[in-house]
Amino acid sequence: MAQVFPPLEISQHWQSVNDSLLRIVELIPEERLNWTPQADLWNSRGVLIHISDARDGWLANTVVDGDPYPNIWTTARSRDDLRRELMRSFARLQRFLSNQAQLDASYRDDWNGETVTLSGHWIAFHLLVHDIHHRAELLQRIALMGIEHDIDV
Ligand code: NI
């Protein structure tokens, strides 16, 4: 018999994750977005672009939600740009989270060199983990830069 898992409401919490990412954008001064703790690690601008880019990548290329993949790597430069892209990509994500058929569908994808079948629920969870993972990375950078903040996670 298949294991039955508890039902879970996570989208409200996810909003708070995105809100804290927007707060992080506010906290990092424009001139420090390029700071990185080590030369071969991404700077904060790159991490923030990557968060929106990962949402776009999964939804455009795997889920194929109908919106194009907007390559924001060259267009997202300022804090206003980063804020706008986080809000845009989160609205896109929310459309996916509200679409039961897209969540319940199966998608073929290459994962760690293998072709796998993933559900929309798996993709949603993966993107939530990805947001939280990179939020922790950004909070670490803020701490290393000595920026005080009110984000308590
Ligand atoms: Ni990542």
Question: Residue 2 C-alpha to ligand 1 middle, in angstroms?
Answer: 32
> How many angstroms separate the alpha carbon of residue 139 from the centre of ligand 1?
15
* pTM of the full structure: 0.93
Residue 68, in any domain of the structure:
yes
Residue 126 lies in a domain: yes
Q: What is the CATH number of the domain that holds 138?
A: 1.20.120.450
What integer pLDDT is reported at residue 9 of this predicted model? 86
Number of domains in the chain: 1
CB 18 within 8 A of CB 131: yes
Residue 47 included in any domain: yes
Residue 1 belongs to some domain of the structure = no
Please choose, from the candidates 96, 106, 103, the residue with its C-alpha nearest in 3D space to the C-alpha of residue 121: 103
Q: Which residue has the tokens 């290329």?
A: 61
Closest by CA position to 126, among listed 36, 31, 57: 57
User: Which residues are CB-neighbours of 67 under 8 A, at least 6 positions away?
Assistant: 59, 60, 92
In terms of residue numbers, what domain contains 104? 19-144
Per-residue model confidence as pLDDT tens for the chain (153 residues): 789 888 788 888 999 999 999 999 999 999 999 999 999 999 999 999 999 999 999 999 999 999 999 999 999 999 999 999 999 999 999 999 999 999 999 999 988 899 999 999 999 999 999 999 999 999 999 999 999 998 888
Q: How far is the CA of 72 from the centre of ligand 1 (A)?
A: 15
Cβ distance 151 to 20 under 8 Å? yes
Alpha helices in 40-148 (DSSP H): 44-57, 79-97, 100-104, 120-144
Q: Residue 97 C-alpha to ligand 1 middle, in angstroms?
A: 20
Query: Residues near 29 by Cβ (< 8 Å), separated by ≥ 6?
Result: none
Residue 40 placed within a domain: yes
- Cβ-contact 32, 79 below 8 angstroms: no
